[in-house]
Amino acid sequence: MDNPIDPEPFLGEPCSVFDVDALEVAGFEILEVTPEPKAPVGPTCQWIFDPRSDGSFSGIFGQLDEQGVSSVYAQRDSLDLFEELDPIEGHPIVAYSQHDGRESGRCSVAVGLRDDFAYDIGVTAIGVDNEYSADPCGTAHELAGLAIETMTEGEE
């Protein structure tokens, strides 16, 4: 990867990946933020933007392997959803899931930060009145762009 991102500054405070003001400018009215820096899957944060329709997204610094997005590629034949999305600033992004939940407003993406480290974003936008449910992977991709922007600025 040409421009790797060091996740270390964000591992202790996983919610710092997204600036709430920047999220609101992008159209996400954040109602609640729940950090879980010691979660078993890796440092995690959840942002709730619409409690009426279970609207939320989470960000996970997965620490289960040291393969980054390559681990998702290795599983591609066993996944119900595997779709390469447009990279952002040279960082690969893949939508993936054991069970394709896009029609019900769910999508997870893996964002390559470095060759050996990925950041996962899971969007849950269930509900007919939720504007994000029509394209949850597009929403996850938009959030990936905001996360990359924050993490890149954190390195400067």
**CATH code for the domain of 128:** 3.40.1000
Mean pLDDT of 85-107: 93
Mean pLDDT of 48-52: 73
User: In the predicted model, is pLDDT for residue 65 greater than 70?
Assistant: no
Residue 67: predicted pLDDT: 83
Residue 152 CB: number of other CB atoms within 10 A? 15
* Confidence category of residue 53, pLDDT binned at 50, 70, 90: low
Q: Is residue 140 part of a domain?
A: yes
User: In the predicted model, is pLDDT for residue 16 greater than 90?
Assistant: yes
Q: H or E segment at 92? A: strand 91-97
Report the number of secondary-structure helices (H) and strands (E) in the chain: 4, 7
* Confidence category of residue 51, pLDDT binned at 50, 70, 90: low
Lookup result for tokens 């960082």 = 91
Residue 92: predicted pLDDT: 95
Q: Rounded to whole angstroms, how far apart are CA atoms 73 and 38?
A: 27
Mean pLDDT of 95-102: 94
User: In the predicted model, is pLDDT for residue 60 greater than 90?
Assistant: yes
Q: Rounded to whole angstroms, how far apart are CA atoms 104 and 93?
A: 21
Q: Is 56 left (phi over 0), alpha (psi -120 to 50) or beta?
A: beta
Residue 126 CB: number of other CB atoms within 10 A? 17
Mean pLDDT of 117-137: 80
Residue 63: predicted pLDDT: 61
Mean pLDDT of 91-97: 96
Q: Is residue 31 part of a domain?
A: yes
Q: Is residue 1 part of a domain?
A: no
Q: Is residue 137 part of a domain?
A: yes
Range of the structural domain that residue 49 is part of: 8-153
Q: Is residue 2 part of a domain?
A: no
Q: Is residue 113 part of a domain?
A: yes
Residue 155: predicted pLDDT: 57
Q: Is residue 3 part of a domain?
A: no
Residues facing residue 97 across a β-bridge: 81
Domain count for the chain, please give it. Answer: 1
Q: Is residue 93 part of a domain?
A: yes
Q: Is 117 left (phi over 0), alpha (psi -120 to 50) or beta?
A: beta
User: In the predicted model, is pLDDT for residue 146 greater than 90?
Assistant: yes
Residue 61: predicted pLDDT: 93
